[in-house]
Structure 1
Amino acid sequence: MCRPTYFDVTYSINPWMHPDRPTSTQTALSQWKLLFETFAALGHDVHLIEPEPGLPDMVFAANGAIVIDNKVLVARFRHPQRVDESEAFQAWFTTGGWSTVRQAEFINEGEGDFLFTGHEILAGSGFRSDLRAHEEVAEFFGYPVVSLELVDPRFYHLDTALAVLDVGEIMYNPRAFSQRSRAELAERFPDAILAGEADAAAFGLNALSDGVNVVLPQAATGLAAQLRERGYQPVGVELTEMLKSGGSVKCCTLELRR
């Protein structure tokens, strides 16, 4: 994770970002701290990367890389406002004892668009990551990659429209995907939890599951109820300030898989 020390909305690279709308760095810090403390209370080991001035979106650490089996593929961002984040993540992992660390050749926005299910990688395209990055990820990690096309600009990254709950189990917003991708998801995950419009708009799918607990925006009450029915323990947090920049729980959290 990365503290939102420099959090602000000074540019717009997704429909949620409005530079003329007031933001509060202090509120962002308070909400982020509660998320950090939630993970710690659930028994997770949280590592921090230092924020850098001029990179207000660095708090969204999930976009910084993909980390599977001790290998790290560092992001290559589409928008110039975020390009310098890659160097910071490259340096952090290079000094961290990971077996293989390199930057992606093609546009690849890390776990924003690449979600590991345990035996395959679901990969988003349409707004940020390049389709060529899907082939690169498959070759680098040695796992099959399932390409999914996003069609609603509000859900510009895969992790805003879909969350992996456990091996073989996901929740997602069908309306965020193309017809072909909807069919693909329905075939692969026939028992998936489907998000309603209100929960999707609250970024309820920008969630993080450890297989038991699912940390998600507390406004996503419908999803929380569905998760309880499936035997999960939903843990609601408030990240309304982050949503002004188009992010929430998962965006703030990069999963490190040794």
Structure 2
Amino acid sequence: MTSVLSRPSETVPRNPTRRHYVMCPPTHFAVEYAINPWMTPGAAVDLDLAFAQWDTLRRTYVELGHEVTVVEPVPGLPDMVYAANGATVAGGIVYGAMFRYAERVPEAAAYRLALAAAGLTRFAEPTFVNEGEGDLLVAGEVVLAGSGFRTDPRAHVEAARVLRRPVLGLELVDPRYYHLDTAVTVLSDTEIAYLPGAFAPRSRGVLAGRYPAAVIASAEDAAVLGLNAVSDGRHVVLPSAAAGLAAEYADRGFSPVGVDLSELLKGGGGPKCCTLEVRA
């Protein structure tokens, strides 16, 4: 496997690219069921705090120069705040989501309508379970694709056809990191951060071969969902508790931006979970 990039010098300029994000406010957020190890049904949720934290994330993106489209939350869909799972968008093509658990199935149609209303009408209906950008991370010209807990590996083949990009399949084995976006951060087209222990041995080998200079997350940073982060090529928006990752990013010339999403962490989500990127 061809490797991607040696470790960059600190003098290499980091140029941010203006992004378009889709977000959904946590108006109906609650922890009513458990479909990942982070969730405890009936856990107390401070909705005012959840909204304030979410809005800080939204304002952070705007202040960094990015466009944010806010979609209307649907009553009865408490996890709709995790917009990343609603679809994968690349080249203006929307590859729709199909959720593993019944509790989230209606979100797929809600995001399809919301994205169409935003002008994204080139929609591909999925045949197999895939949970959007939770398991399909666009990294330059390739898509890193997770499986093991949510997304069906057959969706990887479908995604490659629909999105017209090669797909690199990766198997997750630690249930705490049930989506790929909890175990990998795409920092730039050629750079990532990840937690090796979240992956099956073969997938660890694939990542090590392709990204020999990757940032390796500590277990402590991963355990606060520090890898559930969003990068524009310079600024890396990540959970403020992931201090080790923030220091490593700064050392490599990135600008880490810490945010606190402690209320939304109760549902198993961080900055990336709340952020669906629209790639024209």
| Fold match (TM-score > 0.5) | yes
Separation in 2, partners of 1:92, 1:201: 32
Residue aligning to 2:255: 233
- 1:58-207 equivalent positions in 2, closer than 5 A: 58-98=80-120, 100-207=122-229
Shift in Å, 1:99:
5.0
Please tell me the residue identity of whatever aligns with 1:76. M
Report if the CA contact (8 A) 1:77-1:83 is conserved: yes
Shift in Å, 1:96:
2.8
Separation in 1, partners of 2:120, 2:35: 31
Aligned length: 258
Correspondence for 2:56 among 22, 25, 34:
34
Please tell me the residue identity of whatever aligns with 1:21. A
Aligned structure 1 segments of 4 or more residues deviating by more than 6 angstroms:
none
**Superimposed CA distance per residue, residues 27-49 of structure 1 (whole angstroms, 9 cap, x where no aligned partner):** 11010011111111101000011
Separation in 1, partners of 2:221, 2:184: 12
Please tell me the residue identity of whatever aligns with 1:222. G
Report if the CA contact (8 A) 1:75-1:109 is conserved: yes
TM-score of the two chains, using structure 2 as the length reference: 0.91
Correspondence for 1:48 among 41, 45, 70:
70
Separation in 2, partners of 1:102, 1:143: 15
Report if the CA contact (8 A) 1:90-1:103 is conserved: no
**Superimposed CA distance per residue, residues 36-75 of structure 1 (whole angstroms, 9 cap, x where no aligned partner):** 1111110100001100000000000000000000100110
Unaligned runs of 5+ residues in structure 1 are none
Residue aligning to 2:30: 8
Separation in 1, partners of 2:217, 2:121: 38
Report if the CA contact (8 A) 2:134-2:273 is conserved: yes
Shift in Å, 1:103:
2.3
Residue aligning to 2:18: none
Separation in 2, partners of 1:234, 1:67: 25
Please tell me the residue identity of whatever aligns with 1:192. A
Residue aligning to 1:257: 279
Separation in 1, partners of 2:270, 2:71: 18
SS across alignment from 1:67: strand
Residue aligning to 2:3: none
Separation in 2, partners of 1:13, 1:123: 20
Change (3 A) 1:29 1:192: same
Q: Percent of aligned pairs with the same residue?
A: 54
Please tell me the residue identity of whatever aligns with 1:120. V
Report if the CA contact (8 A) 2:124-2:162 is conserved: no
Separation in 2, partners of 1:90, 1:115: 19
Report if the CA contact (8 A) 2:217-2:245 is conserved: yes
